[in-house]
Amino acid sequence: MGALFHIEGVPIGITSVALALIASMGGFIFGYDTGQISDILLMPDFLLRFADCSSGATLENASSVCSFTDVRSGLIVALLSIGTLAGALMGAPIADFLGRRYAMVVECGVFIIGVIVQITTTHVWQQFAVGRLISGLGVGALSAAVPMYQAETAPAQIRGSLTATYQLFITFGILIAYCISIGTRGYNGPSSWQTVVGIGIAWPVILSVGILCMPESPRWLVFHDKSDMALHSIARVHGINRQEAQDHPLPNKQLSEIQSNVEYERQFVAESGWLDCFRPHNKVLYRTLLGMSLQSLQQLTGANYFFYYGATVFQSVGISDSFITQIILGAVNFGCTFGGIVIMEKFGRRWPLIIGGVWQSMWLFVFAAAGTAKVPQDNPGIGKLMIVSACLFILGYAMTWAPGIWILIGETFPTRTRAKQASLATASNWIWNFLLAFFTPFIVNAIDFRYGFVFASCNLLGAVVVYFFLYESSDLSLEAVDMMYNDPACKPWTSGRWAPAGYSSRKDIEEQGKAAQAHKDFAPIEDHRVEHANGDEKMTGNDGKIPGVKGHPYSMAPQAQA
C-alpha cells in the first residue's frame, strides 16, 4: 500500500485522503440542499405553480404578480430544518447500531426518497415542503455521522484538515447549487426547478458506493469486539498493509490506547443512554452544553441569512441580477474554506474562532448600519458597500466558524457518549437553523437590515464563549482530548500548552511520532491494570498510584501548564 506522505514523522496513506473526500459528500448533500432553495423561490415557473398569483399571471410576468406569503416561504425553506433536527437525533442510535458507514448508506436512501417526493408534485406546495422534510431526515443524520466518522478514523496529525473537508464540501455544494440554478432558470416549465432538485439524487449515490470502500471507525470496531479489523482500519489510513500492521508500533499503540479506553468504560461505566450526556461526571455535561452552544452560535453568526435568502436580500438592495451575486457569495465561501482548512490545522481551534467571531461581527455591523442609514435602492454606493461587507463576513466565516465547529463536534466528546453528544449538538444547530429560516421573513419585514445588528452581537458572544469554555484540542488523539478535559489543572485559556503524560509538550508528540516511524516506540504509555482490593476496583499505573483524575485510565499529572 505505502504511505502517500508523512506529517510530523507519521505516515499518512491515500485512504486518509479518500476518506475525507468521500465521506464529505455528506456535507456536499447538505450544502446543495441548502443552496438550491434560495434561487428556486425566485424561479417564474415555481412561483406560478406554488405562490399566490393575481389573475393573468404568466411565466413572463410571474416574478412581478406572484409572491409567497411569509408563512408559505418560511415553511418551504424551514421544514428541511425540522427534518434535519429529527434526523440528527436519530443519527446516533443508527450509527451506534449499524456502524458509521452503513448508517450513512441508510441515510442517503432517506434523502433520495425526499427528493423524489419533491419532484413529483407540480401544484401542491405542501408536498414539496414535505419532501424537503423527508430529505432533511437524511441530511440531519449525515450531519451527525460524517464529522464523527472522520474524527474517529482520521490520523490525529491531519484530523482537523480532514474533518474540515466536510465544511468545504458544504460550501462546494452551495456553489454548485447556485451554478446549476442559474443554468436552468431559463428552462420553460417545471424542468427549471425539477432539474435542480432532481440532480440531488446523484450525490447520495456517490457517497453510498464510495463509503463502503472505506475502513470502518476503529473506535466503533473495538467497542464491538472487532480488534483485528480495527487494527487493519488504523493501518489503512496510515498506508500500512495488513501484514506489516501486526508488528508495526504505530497502529498497535493507537489500538492499545483505544482498547484501554473502551475497557475502562465497560468496567467502570454503565451502558450509555441519552441521560448520560447530561451527567457532570468527567465533564460530560460540560462538553454536551459546550457542543450545543457552539453549534447554536454557528447558526447565529448569520451565515444562513445570506445562503437561504441571499437572492432576495440582494434583490432588495437594488441588484439587477441577484443570481449572479449569489454565485459571487458562494464562490467566496467556497474559496475561503480552503484557507480555513490551513488555519485550523496550523493555528489550532481557539484563536481562529475568537478572531473570526470579532471579524464577522465587525462586518455585520457595517452591513446593518449601511442598510439602516440610507435606502440601498436609492443609493447604489450603499448597496455595493453592503455586498462587499457581506463578502468579507463570509470570508471570515468560511475560514473560522464554518469548518471549526464541525471539527470540534468530532473531537470533543468521549467515545462512550460521542455519537449521542454529537447528535445533540447537531440537533441544536438545526433547531436554530429552523427558527432562523422560518422567522427571518417576519423579522426582516419588521426591522429590515437592522437584523444584522442581532447577528453581529451573537458573533461577539461566540468569541467570548470560545475564550472562556473551549479547550484547545489540536494535535491530540481523541483519547488525549478526553484526558485534557478531565485534568483539573488545565483551564481553557491554558489548554494550548497542555500535553499528555509522557510528553513534555505537543511538540514532543511530533518528535516521538518520528521515532515511531523509525520503528522505535512512542512515548512510554503506562500499562494500566485493574486491581481488585477489598472488593473495590480502581485503575492504577505502573507505580500503583492514580495520577490526575481518579479512576480514569488516561489520567495524568499536569504537563506544561506554566
Residues with Cβ < 8 Å from 470, sequence gap 6 or more? Answer: 290, 294, 349, 350, 353, 408, 492
> Cβ(326)–Cβ(178) under 8 Å?
yes
Segment holding 58, helix H or strand E = none
As a whole number of angstroms, the distance between CA 295 and CA 429 comes to: 5
Question: In this structure, are strands 66-67 and 52-53 parallel, antiparallel, or unpaired?
Answer: antiparallel
- Determine the Cα–Cα distance for residues 413 and 277; give it in Å rounded to an integer: 10
Please tell me what DSSP assigns to residue 536.
E
Q: Which residues contact 24 (CB under 8 A, 6 or more apart)?
A: 146, 150, 165, 166, 168, 169
All cell numbers assigned to 342:
490551513
537 beta partners? 532
Per residue of the chain (562 residues), what is the pLDDT tens digit? 566 667 767 788 888 889 888 999 999 998 898 888 878 888 889 999 999 888 888 888 887 888 888 888 888 888 888 898 899 888 878 988 999 999 999 999 999 999 999 999 998 999 999 999 999 999 999 988 888 898 889 887 788 888 788 888 988 998 899 889 888 988 888 999 999 999 999 999 999 999 999 999 998 999 899 999 999 999 999 888 888 888 888 899 889 988 988 887 777 555 667 888 998 988 999 999 999 999 999 999 998 787 766 666 666 666 666 677 778 878 888 899 899 888 988 899 999 999 999 999 999 999 999 888 887 777 778 878 888 898 899 999 999 999 999 889 888 998 788 888 988 998 898 899 888 878 888 888 888 889 999 999 999 999 999 999 999 998 888 888 999 999 999 999 999 989 887 777 777 766 665 565 555 444 443 343 333 334 443 333 333 333 334 444 444 333 333 3
Query: CA-to-CA distance for 391 and 394, rounded, in angstroms?
Result: 5
pLDDT of residue 37: 85
CA distance 159 to 12: 11
> 3-state DSSP call for residue 205?
helix
Res 421: pLDDT: 92
Q: What pLDDT is attached to residue 517?
A: 52
Instruction: Count the neighbouring beta carbons within 10 Å of the beta carbon of residue 225.
Output: 10
